Structure 1
């Protein structure tokens, strides 16, 4: 298993994506842009219900091959031409990592405290991305490192071994940094552009990121917009141990 799967075009996904786009464009208008004005994070910005429906369009559970679960308001990640640009909000090293390593990361692992120690604060079951508009393949597509979830799981299992108490308070900084370095050395990097009516499912432990915007790539005025969902699991232990 490479840790991701593409879900091909389905009319039910396309209908949902069209409704989500109509809701997304005005919502993104109020977002503060990061990375020199080339990225809107859009956390919890989509006005979907707990069943995933948007403006009367049912969430396409059957088409994406997932069992219905309560959903949070979707993230609306919008990327614009020129991404990424330097920003006073991040260090030069962080900018170079965004530019050269696609800002590769593991969702759910947050930087905590002034020293930004990595801890699991958002243990999620899976990641589902649904493109909302037509864009060129080079318009900052999603990037994954195939098979990286296996390396990350092995590193986490080793770090958590023998740990009692609340695993969300365990510092994973060094274990994660070393595992990610191994991912870069051994895993295939793959770009995953998509179009409305398609979706992409990611294993929750898969390393992924966003590619820089390629010269000549095109997107609508609202940028390349993807809706993401990450429903939470009951515990960090489930996040590590479940398939």
Structure 2
């Protein structure tokens, strides 16, 4: 079995795969790192600091264009991008299907410290369950009801600096994407596509998440600069706490995450 076959099998069955060191990706990281660092002191992004400044969420903070290139840097390329174009049947990624502006997610020792006014239940869920979620299901209104509002093609995690394996790693429940996808199909198959975002899925989401916790194996993913991991768009995932033994440099645990939008919602629902 080739590396490509193993990666494809892992992605389809487990909901994630990892790619080894790639020179093209390492060059991209080298060009993007100064821009990622700059976001953390940019007043425009100051509101992204969370949990007593132990997490800089940095959503869409990296100033990359649709090719993935930051000013003065190369377009995003390499094995992982080739895999996305081929195995995920998205040949247009980085071209007519643009990359989104990447999230610059940075964690520091102590994550997550408690936020002011945060309930015990919410804080404990972050500490004990990694704030596990499926992307695109947003809370809305005074009652904070969940609805499907965003349609990401995948999650691509690119470490920007070195840090230890227990420094607030990316957590994922293997096989959860299959359970969640089946639930999505049951929930939306009889609903016109244009009305998907109107459906209150709060209770169903809570039920399916509990089922995943009971039946799926939780893992954490780690990579070094020049390496990358890819997670399925329907996978339940989160961010683990910073362990007492964790180590990192002055940049903390810095990862760039790409989640480009997929325009075809039926493809988002049904594709592997």
TM-score using structure 2 length: 0.85
- Say which SS state the counterpart of residue 61 (structure 1) adopts: coil
Distance 1:28 1:54 in 2: 16
Match of 1:14 in 2: 26
Q: Does 1:147 align with 2:165?
A: no
Q: Does 1:49 align with 2:61?
A: no
Distance 1:90 1:241 in 2: 37
Q: Does 1:110 align with 2:126?
A: no
Alignment partner of 1:82 out of 107, 110, 135: 110
Distance 1:207 1:89 in 2: 26
Q: Note the residue ranges of structure 2 that are not aligned, 5 or more in a row.
A: 1-12, 86-92
Aligned length: 243
Note the 1:218-233 alignment, pairs <5 A: 218-233=247-262
Distance 1:58 1:237 in 2: 32
Q: Is the 8 A contact 2:25 2:78 kept in 1?
A: no
Q: Does 1:93 align with 2:121?
A: yes
Distance 2:196 2:118 in 1: 28
Q: Is the 8 A contact 1:167 1:237 kept in 2?
A: no
Note the 1:159-238 alignment, pairs <5 A: 159-164=187-192, 165-238=194-267
Alignment partner of 1:26 out of 18, 30, 38: 38
**Larger helix percent:** 2
Q: Is the 8 A contact 1:120 1:236 kept in 2?
A: no
Deviations 1:90-138 (A, max 9, x none): 3221111000000100011111111111111111111111000000111
Q: Note the residue ranges of structure 1 that are not aligned, 5 or more in a row.
A: none
TM-score using structure 1 length: 0.95
Root-mean-square deviation (Å): 1.4
Distance 2:271 2:198 in 1: 20
Deviates more, 1:229-238 or 1:212-221: 229-238
Deviations 1:26-52 (A, max 9, x none): 211233321122101101100111100
Distance 1:235 1:163 in 2: 15
Deviates more, 1:86-95 or 1:133-142: 86-95
Distance 1:7 1:186 in 2: 27
Q: Is the 8 A contact 1:143 1:190 kept in 2?
A: yes
Distance 1:46 1:134 in 2: 19
Alignment partner of 1:137 out of 157, 162, 165: 165
Match of 2:90 in 1: none
Q: Is the 8 A contact 2:106 2:255 kept in 1?
A: yes
